[in-house]
Amino acid sequence: MSNPSKLLSANSPIVLPSLPYTENALEPTVSAKTISFHYGKHHKGYVDNLIKLIAGTEYSELSLEKIITDTQDQKEKKAIFNNASQVWNHTFYWKSLQEKGGGSLPSELKTLIDASFGSQSECKKALAEAALTQFGSGWAWLVIDGGKLKVINTINAESPITTKMKPLLTIDVWEHAYYLDYQNRRVEYVNALLDNLINWDFAYQNLS
């Protein structure tokens, strides 16, 4: 079927969300070509796959978060979990970036970052290390856990929303996130995101 969304009811929450900016808004750090493939092919592909997997099942009217938490430990539902989690992770990733990002921190977030890492610079170093040491595909996350901030990484489609930790922002380190622009130079991609695009305001909003 050319339009998998027709497999679900009009009330289904499973849709491809709009980008929070235009495809060329993150240039030159992330090219419009990368956004076109990453969002228009990969992210959309996860949405389409998920719709096909859940059509006619008990998951078809559930929220994305509920699908993820309900299938996380079910081996026979792994395909549903992987696609649902990748849809959620990618939506969160786009919001973790913004045009003219980086820069100074909102005051409340700065207080927490200073208490947890010592400084914004050390927080960025921790995020970069998590992103660069993730073997293969995965994600680096800034999370809040028990009132304290920390950095974690997850493999493949895994996400902190299946834990008691609350994600504040993320960096996608699947190769499709950067290969068109940076080839195998993941370190350049990660540092460029942290310096130029990371959305500290979004992280602050997620504290509440």
H helical segments located in the chain:
32-37, 44-54, 64-71, 78-95, 107-117, 120-133, 179-182, 186-196, 200-205
SS3 content of the chain, % helix, strand, coil (to 5): 50, 10, 35
Q: Where do the domains of the chain lie, and which CATH numbers do they carry? A: 107-205 (3.55.40.20)
16, 43 in Cβ contact below 8 A?
Answer: yes
The per-residue pLDDT for 207 is: 93
Q: Which of 49, 45, 86, 79 is nearest to 64 (CA)?
A: 86
Q: Which of 139, 144, 147, 171 is nearest to 29 (CA)?
A: 171
Does the structure show a pLDDT above 70 at 140?
yes
Mean pLDDT of 102-130: 96
165, 179 in Cβ contact below 8 A?
Answer: no
Mean pLDDT of 150-178: 97
Using the 8-state DSSP alphabet, how is residue 156 labeled? T
Mean pLDDT of 14-35: 96
CA–CA distance, 122 with 114 (Å, rounded to integer): 9
With cut-offs at 50, 70 and 90, classify the pLDDT of residue 5: low
